[in-house]
Amino acid sequence: MRNTALFSMRNLRLGILSAGALVFLAPYIWMISTAAKSREEIFSSSLTLLPQHWALWENLAKAFTRVPMGQLLLNGLIVCGLIFFFQVVIAIPCAYAMAKLKFRAAQTMMTLVMLGLLIPIHATALPIYVALNKAGMLNSYFALSAPFFISVFGIFLFLQFFRAMPDDLISAARLDGMSELAIVNRVIVPNAWPAVTAFAIFSVVAHWNDLFWPLIVITGTERATPPLGLLFFRAAEAGDDYGALMAATLIITLPLVAAFLLAQRRFIEGITLTGLKG
């Protein structure tokens, strides 16, 4: 029999969760609403969620014409791609060695990784900035991405994942004639997709949305990432065209939201790190 009681435990839970979700979603919903309103309506005293006159296209057009939005999105893509690629290429062999090989420096390396997790980018920002400046490499993709190539968080995440992989699998691979590099490429990576997906979420979200580091090393729009471009946009517009600003914000948040909705199941799988059942 179907449970049709209105105040059942299930509905109560659902209600509380929905209310919580609404609180978190409210700013984003308000942003979309504002992006669709004309300037007059934004500054009018009445507060409405649905705009009386739809001005979404005008606002979007302004966002695209006043800043090089295409360039910003491309920059974001290149920087996130570069960072993610190098992080994975460096972190996976490193984590494999720490998880499955026996060597004398393993303990020391573990300590270093833990230490690395504790030090935020803000602490090392100045020395890195000075170094990049001396090397004449400010305002470049390299300056935007290089400081993040070695991700201790990535090493840590993969380490936890690899430790759970059966040792027998690696022994079998060695007996089958694989070198250590071949083991990483042919056995570890193909079975580490959940971990790679999880790490991709953390890495791409963090660097797509990062404002701090681009603000330090980038001065012009031609290498600016989306959040930095947004900042330029606000400064250029003297801060009263909120409709266009919100439209621009909508555009730069859209790729991540779309990616999440498309790959929702895989993302959650990745975050919960469902282990290998072989």
Partner 1 sequence: MSAFALRNISKSYGTNSILNDVSIEAEAGEFIALVGPSGCGKSTLLRIAAGLDHGDAGSIWMGDREITAEHPADRNVAMVFQSYALYPHLTAEQNIAVPLAMRNLSTLQRMPFLGRFMAGRSTTQAAIKQQVLATATSLKIDHLLDRKPGQMSGGQRQRVALARALVRQPGVFLMDEPLSNLDANLRVHTRAEIVDLHRRTGVPTIYVTHDQSEALSMADRVAVMMGGRVLQFAPPAEIYDNPRHIEVAKFVGSPRINIINATTSDDGAVFFGGKAVVNGVTGPVGTLVQLGIRPERIKLKPHGAKGIAATVSRLEFLGSEVLVTTEVDGVEDGLVVKAAPVDVVHLSAGAPVTLVIDKDACLVFGQDGLRVPLRAPAKVSVDA
Among 56, 90, 169, 256, binds partner 1 (CB under 8 A): 169
Whole-angstrom Cα distance, residue 191 to residue 195?
A: 9
Element holding 237 (H helix, E strand): none
Of residues 198 through 217, those in contact with partner 1 by CB under 8 A are: none
Q: Which of 115, 172, 258, 271 binds partner 1 (CB under 8 A)?
A: 172
Nearer to partner 1, 44 or 179 (CB): 179
CB of 70 or CB of 190, closer to partner 1? 190
Q: Which residues of 203-241 are buried (b: 16+ CB within 10 A; e: fewer)?
A: bbeebbebeebbebbbeebebbbbbbbbebbbeebeeeb
Find the part of the chain contacting partner 1 (CB under 8 A) among 17-25, 117-125, 162-170, 195-203.
Answer: 162-170
Q: What binding mask, one character per residue, do residues 175-194 give for partner 1 by CB under 8 A, x or -?
A: xxxx---x---xx--xx---
Q: How far is the CB of 264 from partner 1 (least distance, A)?
A: 23
Site string for partner 1, 62-101 (x = CB under 8 A): ----------------------------------------
Alpha carbon separation from 241 to 45, 222, 227, 237, 248 (Å, rounded): 16, 23, 17, 7, 11
Instruction: Report, in Å, the least distance between residue 90 CB and partner 1.
Output: 21
The DSSP-derived string for 105-162 is THHHHHHHHHHHHHS-HHHHHHHHHHHHHHTT--SSHHHHHGGGSS-HHHHHHHHHHH
Using rule CB under 8 A, residue 174 touches partner 1: yes
Cβ at position 189, least distance to partner 1 in Å: 9
Quick one: 43 exposed, middle or buried, by C-beta within 10 A (0-12, 13-18, 19+)?
Answer: exposed
Give the interface with partner 1 as residue ranges (CB under 8 A). Answer: 166, 168-169, 171-178, 182, 186-187, 190-191, 276-278
